[in-house]
Amino acid sequence: MSSVPEDPSAFVAPSHEQLPAASAMAVGPPARLLALSDGIYAIAMTLLVLDLSLPEGLDPAEFRRELHAMIPQFLAYGLSFTLLVGFWQDQRRIHLLVRQADEGFIRLTALGLGAVALVPFPTSMLSDYTDEPVAVALYSAVIAAIDLIHLAQFTLLCRRPRLRTRAVPRRLLWGFSAELGSTILVFGTAAVIALFDPAAAMYSWLALVPLKIAVGRASRGRPLRPANGD
């Protein structure tokens, strides 16, 4: 016959005071967070190509016509893939600064990855409805939101030294912030323009190229690499 503890407190659930706080459980090394980030970026990039397909049984004339009609889809795919690669690089540069991730950083990362996972949807809308203001505005807004979240992550690290692997030089602080801000400015402005003129909004995206070049030349900051201390 099994013995039963006489003390009733043995069956009492632990109180809130005995349980670790959610923030304490969230704090930890960023390796798993980085692995999750890499996985979601890989899935988002792969999903982009699923929108590229041709009907079966086409004769040569129909094949050429359908392939020509897919040019907007190829352009949308190329643009989104290029942007996702850039976002992935930004995310890894940020994570190289992380010594441990607290609850706030984890929440920002999850929010950013949610926006990244959404990219294939507005990309598909953009390729099929380039004349629709909502399609262009939504695409622009999602792209701007991703780098806005990256900027929030970077700012959080700069304000919480205990989370960082090292100090952030002032030149690097302003240079990387300006680089992220250029994407936010261009695509955030385009999201508003798209509501009135979708074509003009898409042309305004081209402003990002010279703006990025100018920011890079002006900042000339060191690359974000891990160090042993602040």
Give residue limits of the domains in the chain.
28-219
Q: What average pLDDT does the segment 155-160 reach?
A: 88
pTM (global) more than 0.75:
yes
Question: In whole angstroms, what is the distance from residue 120 CA to residue 139 CA?
Answer: 10
Q: Looking up tokens 């409805």, which residue turns up?
A: 129
Q: Give, to the nearest 10 degrees, the angle between helix 71-95 and helix 103-118.
A: 170
220 torsion bin: left (phi>0), alpha (psi -120 to 50), beta (else): left
Exposed e or buried b for every residue in 185-216, given b needs 16+ CB within 10 A?
A: bbbbbbbebbeeebeebbebbeebeebbeebe
Strand, coil or helix: 98: strand
- Residue 220: pLDDT band with limits 50, 70, 90: low
The β-bridge partners of 28 are 101
pLDDT in tens, 111-157: 999 999 999 999 999 998 989 999 999 999 999 999 999 999 999 98
pLDDT of residue 124: 93
Give kind and range of the element (H or E) at residue 10: none
The count of C-alpha atoms lying within 13 angstroms of the C-alpha of 183, restricted to the half-sphere facing its C-beta, is 23
Confidence grade of residue 72 (pLDDT, cut at 50, 70, 90)? confident
List of long-range contacts for 122-129, beta carbons under 8 Å, 24+ apart: 123/48, 123/51, 123/76, 123/77, 123/79, 123/80, 124/51, 124/76, 126/72, 126/76, 127/51, 127/72, 127/73, 127/75, 127/76, 127/77, 128/72, 128/73
Average pLDDT over residues 187-194: 97
CB 136 within 8 A of CB 202: yes
Q: Which residues make Cβ contacts (< 8 Å) with residue 7, sequence separation at least 6?
A: none
Q: Higher-confidence residue: 222 or 184?
A: 184
